[in-house]
Amino acid sequence: MLSMTGFGSGEGTRGPITVTIELRSVNHRFLDVSLKLHGSLAALEGDIRKFLKDNVARGRVTVVSQLHLARDPEDAGLDPERLAQGLTMIRQAAEVLEKQTGEKYPVTLDHLLGVPDLFRAEEPDLAIEDLREALLSAMTEAHHGLMDMKKAEGKALVDEMRSRLTTLSGQLTEVEKLAPQAAVEIQARLDERLARILNDQIDPQRLAQEVALLADKANINEECERLGIHIGHFHAALDEGGQVAKRLNFLLQEMHREVNTMGSKTNLMDITQAVIAMKDEVESMREQIQNLE
């Protein structure tokens, strides 16, 4: 099971081209890709999006790229045009100074080295296939790192949810033990209600309705049983792994429904406290599931 949170980096080289990729992933309902590409790599945006669509189910993924070109020293040299322009400007400046001071100012190498952009390097040809291969190699390595972190984060989330399920099961056991006591409490309330109804000479049909209503309210056995089944299904989904976040979310909705019903059927303080604790566990797992891919 995978978390949606992770980071990975990779590097790919083909010929003079080296591409570095960083992948960052955070929570998102769907797959949402944000690209920060070096200009020369913009033409390969489609390749990046396809790679991520094939390898990432969902999450907001940010891609940051860098491109480095290895240059051959033999390709470097003087720029003849800049050299000619520089010489012309330096000579003109020397002539002006000579007229103003009467002194000669010979042109030296130091003067020439001050000319900007005097040296140039030949730009290597960037073959699109070399760019693509370097990019995909870097993407593959970065994806491996991303997946390693997502697996580690996912395992931590699963371990945490299993711990909460254990706590939830323990609280359910306590509620099941307290259920007969809740029935006794409801029976006492029923007796009190019946005595009042009899004193008021209420219609027998209404009396039967009151009895049926209170008797049903006292029974939380079905809710306990269904909650136990949901907990079992939740464990099974965690064991199965894969992309089960939607199923887990549905189970948590059902758990929340059963716990709420338990709370509404009894006013016994111990059960009420257990219900509040169970709601907290369910809500915490709901938040954790948002992090699963």
Render pLDDT for 12-32 as a digit per residue (tens, 0 to 9). Answer: 999 889 999 999 999 998 999
Residue 124 has pLDDT above 60, yes or no: no
pLDDT tens digit sequence for 95-123: 888 888 888 878 787 777 777 766 665 55
Residues 164 and 60 in one domain: no
Residues 284 and 160 in one domain: yes
Residue 175: which residues within 8 A CB-CB, separation 6 or more? 220, 224, 262, 271, 274, 275, 278
> Can you give the C-alpha Rg of the chain in angstroms?
37
Would residue 113 count as lying in a domain? Answer: yes
Residues 271 and 238 in one domain: yes
**% of the chain with per-residue pLDDT over 90:** 52
pLDDT tens digit sequence for 137-162: 999 999 999 999 999 999 999 999 99
Angle among Cα 188, 192, 194 to the nearest 5 degrees reads 115
Residues 172 and 86 in one domain: no
Would residue 1 count as lying in a domain? Answer: no
Tracing tokens 């099974």 back to the chain, one arrives at: 236
Domain containing 230: what range? 154-289
Residues 114 and 171 in one domain: no
Q: How many domains does the chain have?
A: 3
Residues 106 and 142 in one domain: no
Residues 258 and 129 in one domain: no
Instruction: State residue 205's pLDDT score.
Output: 67
